[in-house]
Structure 1
């Protein structure tokens, strides 16, 4: 397989999706805090990681299967939580979950999903619930309890959006005309939605980690960490994992990229918890870079959304298959004995090193 086939496929899927979607939906899916420059910086940062191929390790273990918080998955690529999926495909996360089940992977499910949790679970793929703390704590508790009862395997406490980014006029989902994706918070009652919509969201704190674990009985993964000290504090407060993330470039114009922060975060938490990464992962090379820098697995977001809009679950499965195949090739070319033996393989740029 040619190098970076997945990158080209992602670009093709985006082009097709933009032709099919209303302009305001496509702009919402593709928006980043600093425009195209911020998006391109993410991609360039992953590309900047170089490798030191190993030799003389004999025949490598060809398996790319792994586990995340004890859940087996067929490869180290998972589907990131994303809102308003029903605007891309009428089945929304049901279609995405069906694709995840076929690909043997896990998906994240957004607080803003319009789809009942039980319908996601019915597709057979394991899933984590991405939690935003809502304006009313009792409503947050009710939502988390419903997710746990429906079969979520973990919670992802989102901390990378302390202030909501202003969308381009006309692209914020609540301003959309009558399209399916306008639906939000589909796992709340109408009365509960009234208590939280259009109200400021609280800033997450360390105490929220233990509270969510107690309420749900599930492990809590903190999503949106870009500093080693924050990662360490999260783990000491009870987090079972961290996701190094810039919210796909949506967090802050000028933010450090996720991959540039990854090694620092891994160093800070050691082997105490599992570390994951997202934001700009597009190719098998990027997946290898993340794992070689210490991530357990990665999340992929926008390419999955574009695939969903371009051709439903089938196109999502196709994209994930290309990405997995590309990673397998890169892994074999690296000379590593297995997916668990990547130490010393990655060489990050000098300016990232402490």
Structure 2
């Protein structure tokens, strides 16, 4: 076993790294390269951003148990979730309007994920249509986030398009059905959707075109007349999400697709059980990265109870606040099968495009794999709460 991995060896050989190593530096550089209103849209959260802070701080309250008894084999960070093989239990979370960070947007992120062997979950609010993103990285597996529209024909169309395009799972966006109170966005007076940014999946959908009264078959907002853009924005705002969601709705969704159904935004153990009984194939513990509800409970604090309620029935994934490889390990030890990262890959895309996202993933892979070995494990599946002890640090740095 080499003392340093090939990724670390390469950085040493090159005398340093072209791209950031720490998440704090990714964020600092992204702040420098992006227009202020774009950065605040991505980095901001609800209210005083207490939930954002809580999501990250929650990881500091768990300490990892270091072990010295081991075998000599290299640790293997790979896993499989819902039949999708992953070289690392880290997925790119659905994050809308990636064009704010880089011209390659979701296509560049998908190519980076495919090269790194990780799975991106495409946001419902994309700059490019879902078919274009799938075609950009045909060698990689991708999942699709489904924001359930308040129009059944449109809803069914989006799901069927995702299945036809080769996406491997449908992730129902349960944690963003009501606009959160986001002071940074309000202070800047900036919403990308008012100019039809991030609406590539809708502009390219024939049912949405019918609802918005659009002629032709536009794939982006480029070239649309101002009155058409205004109509697109108002139509999207009106039909974006249906007002109700119940466990019984999964039966209808199941009738539209054969893909696995994943429900994102589950923080209540009782809801987790109900969704299991209703036929969900997996759930994601998430509070939407603190962008929706201020003063909310950290998502990590919800993970143990949700995992216990679900048991071995279906996989539990995790999102919100993951910033390091050791964060990944802590979430897996508390019951997650894999985690999602959102802001980190957007910052990396802003700073380095596709190469930046690849570098970010390799940093996470190297740190996580080392942590896996140093806690005495060869595989993700053997992690458990026994690998953690209570810690009372409140400073990540």
Cα 1:20/1:56, change in 2 over 3 Å: closer
Q: Say which of 64, 86, 90 aligns to 1:51.
A: 64
Q: Say which of 91, 110, 120 aligns to 1:107.
A: 120
User: Which residue pairs with 1:173 in the alignment?
Assistant: 192
- For the pair 1:285 / 2:285, whether they are aligned, the reply is no
Shift of 1:323: 0.7
User: Which residue pairs with 1:149 in the alignment?
Assistant: 164
- For the pair 1:204 / 2:233, whether they are aligned, the reply is no
CA RMSD of aligned residues (A): 2.4
User: Which residue pairs with 1:319 in the alignment?
Assistant: 360
Structure 1: give runs of 5+ residues left out of the alignment. Answer: none
Structure 2: give runs of 5+ residues left out of the alignment. Answer: 9-16, 213-231, 393-397
Larger radius of gyration: 2
Cα 1:236/1:55, change in 2 over 3 Å: farther
Cα 1:22/1:116, change in 2 over 3 Å: same
Deviations 1:14-36 (A, max 9, x none): 22222222222211111211334
User: Which residue pairs with 2:389 in the alignment?
Assistant: 347
TM-score (norm 1): 0.91
Deviations 1:241-295 (A, max 9, x none): 0000010111211111111011111100111111100101000110010111111
User: Which residue pairs with 1:128 in the alignment?
Assistant: 143
- For the pair 1:64 / 2:77, whether they are aligned, the reply is yes
Shift of 1:107: 0.5
SS of 1:259 mapped into structure 2: helix
Q: Say which of 197, 205, 210 aligns to 1:188.
A: 205
SS of 1:185 mapped into structure 2: helix
Shift of 1:54: 4.4
Answer whether contact 2:52 2:290 (CA < 8 A) is retained: yes
- For the pair 1:40 / 2:53, whether they are aligned, the reply is yes
Q: Say which of 312, 333, 343 aligns to 2:374.
A: 333
- For the pair 1:80 / 2:93, whether they are aligned, the reply is yes
User: Which residue pairs with 1:238 in the alignment?
Assistant: 279
Answer whether contact 2:125 2:198 (CA < 8 A) is retained: no
TM-score (norm 2): 0.81
Shift of 1:61: 4.9
CA distance in 1, matches of 2:33, 2:349: 11
Shift of 1:206: 1.1
Shift of 1:229: 0.8
CA distance in 2, matches of 1:26, 1:183: 21
Shift of 1:96: 0.6
